[in-house]
Amino acid sequence: MLNIKQQLREAETEKRRLTKIKQKEDLRKELRQKQEEIKQLKDCRKVVIVGDSIIKHIPPIEGVTVKSFPGATIGKLHYLLEKGFLSLKGFSYIILHVGTNNIARNCSVSDMLADFTNLLAKIRKISPEIHIIVSAILPRPVDIKVTEKKIKEFNLMLDTQLSKDLKFKFIKSYRPFLHCGEIKLHFFARLDGGLHLNLEGSARLGHFFHRVISTLSY
């Protein structure tokens, strides 16, 4: 009888040991599956944000590449693409944030729209499958009295006309920086009079982009 009880205890101990081993293997298998799913999702939805210095300091977003060209105009991005200095290879989405420097140079809205049309045509020629998202120009305190009307007109034309004609998604990235039509000054750098975003403003813009990216289909 004692021998049988001893054998039962040993069998139970062995069963628990084997059960733990099996549980560990099941967990490892589940982990590998999850890791593979994550890898596939990252591979399928690769996003690049391209623009001027406004996007330079946005916080890192997983799976997103930021390519900032300080001082760049819409035409400059077209040139960089044409000459091969800006590559879109491997990306399934592009977010464009450019136009502020065109406004600063007193370009007309019609010229800016023409430049944007050419830029999008170049993007689609280079990367026909890429999905294009256009971010609105932000108002800036440094010259808002002079540029406000043109910025609003350009953003409106992008939203209501060009986005439909050229089939891209327009995102109203200016919204987090306004309250009842007034600029939220605490998002802009003081030293340059509000020419650029400060760290809080960059984080806010990055958060806005992150929310947009999280809704994109795979």
Entry pTM:
0.79
Instruction: Report phi then psi at 4, rounded to 5.
Output: -65, -40
**pLDDT tens digits along 127-182:** 999 999 999 999 989 888 999 999 999 999 999 999 999 999 999 999 999 999 89
Closest listed residue to residue 65, CA positions, set 79, 51, 53, 75: 51
Average pLDDT over residues 21-33: 86
Closest listed residue to residue 155, CA positions, set 202, 192, 116: 116
Counted residue by residue, the chain has a size of 218
**pLDDT tens digits along 77-136:** 999 999 999 999 999 999 999 999 999 999 999 999 999 999 999 999 999 999 999 999
CA 120 – CA 166 distance, rounded (Å): 8
**pLDDT tens digits along 60-69:** 998 899 999 9
